[in-house]
Structure 1
Amino acid sequence: MSEIFVMYELDQPGAARSINGASLIEGRPVRCVHAAPAAPGSTTTPGPRTLCGKDTFAMQPSPGSRPTDSDSSWCTAEYAQLVCAQCDAVMEG
């Protein structure tokens, strides 16, 4: 699989957190964590859609990309409970 970006779908400022203790990104709680392939012809820019088909325009990319260690999860443990089930199924498949 090509370069994968971890993308944070953020709640509106002041929204209730999905999970107690979830980190804030740009002052907003993370609602869901998605995976997105790189934009065509790029290894540094996420593509326009996540693996589940959502638009990445309003999402915040995580620093770094998918771990190369096959025993590692593509998402950090901090956000494991917020992972999009559809993106996860594609990543695990």
Structure 2
Amino acid sequence: MSGIVVVYEVDRPDPTVRRVHAAPAAPGENAVPGPRTLCGRDTFAMEAAPWTPSAEPGAPWCPPQHADLRCPACEDAV
């Protein structure tokens, strides 16, 4: 699943993960998200997750500890 960066939508001031999104990688980068998630949200205020999706077919794109917080639109797009 190369080219996908996992990003966290967080609550401030404590960075509690509210939702997990997938974003295409920025051009020429592997771990930097592009400007929009796959569901169309702005990634500017989101944090890149320390998780790299596997390229294996059927492997989860989202970190297992946050599976219940996956964005349904990003899930469909992935």
State TM-score, norm by structure 1. 0.75
Give, in whole Å, the separation in 1 of the partners of 2:63 and 2:2: 19
Cα offset, 1:39, TM superposition = 1.0
- The ranges of structure 1 where at least 4 consecutive aligned residues each deviate by more than 6 angstroms after the TM superposition are none
* C-alpha RMSD of matched pairs (Å): 1.5
Inter-partner Cα distance in structure 2 for 1:44 and 1:29 = 21
Q: Which amino acid aligns with 1:3?
A: G
AA partner of residue 5 (structure 1) = V
Structure 2 Cα separation of the partners of residues 70 and 82 of structure 1: 21
TM (norm. structure 2) is 0.88
1:63 CA drift (Å): 1.9
Select the structure of larger CA radius of gyration.
Answer: 1
Contact 2:7 2:46 (8 Å CA) reproduced: yes
For structure 1, the 5+ residue unaligned runs are 14-26
Give the length in aligned residue pairs.
78
Gaps of 5+ in 2: none
Q: Name the % identity.
A: 50
